[in-house]
Amino acid sequence: MKYINAESAFPQRLVDEMQQYVEGGWVYVPARRHSRKAWGERSGSKEALKRRNAEIRRRFCEGHSIERLSSDYGLAYDTVKKIVYSKK
């Protein structure tokens, strides 16, 4: 995040208005909700985890043990257990 001087970014009337609330302080202006992407959407991590978890569930349904899946995917036993017993 980059610091921007309000006087160079906003009209003077808006700067005057903001100074009534915060004078000489820092103000964070969040991005619009529709322009923000959820975790993992840009990099594809979210989709990759969905595919991995679906594969783990499928293999569990085929008879693979939680211990085996834990070893194959390098995940903790409890993590695999949460994946296979979740309702997703």
Cα(5)–Cα(71) distance, integer angstroms: 53
Span 49-73, pLDDT tens digits: 999 999 999 999 999 999 999 999 9
Q: Of 4-18, 19-33, 59-73, which has the strongest mean pLDDT? A: 59-73
Cα(59)–Cα(52) distance, integer angstroms: 11
Question: Which 8-state DSSP code applies to residue 33?
Answer: G
Backbone φ and ψ for 53, nearest 5 degrees, come out as: -65, -40
Give the domain ranges of the chain: 6-85
Kindly report the length of the chain.
88
Cα(78)–Cα(14) distance, integer angstroms: 53
Report the predicted TM-score, pTM, of the whole model to 2 decimal places. 0.58
Would the pLDDT of 31 be above 80? no
Residue 1's pLDDT is 65
Mean pLDDT across the chain: 90
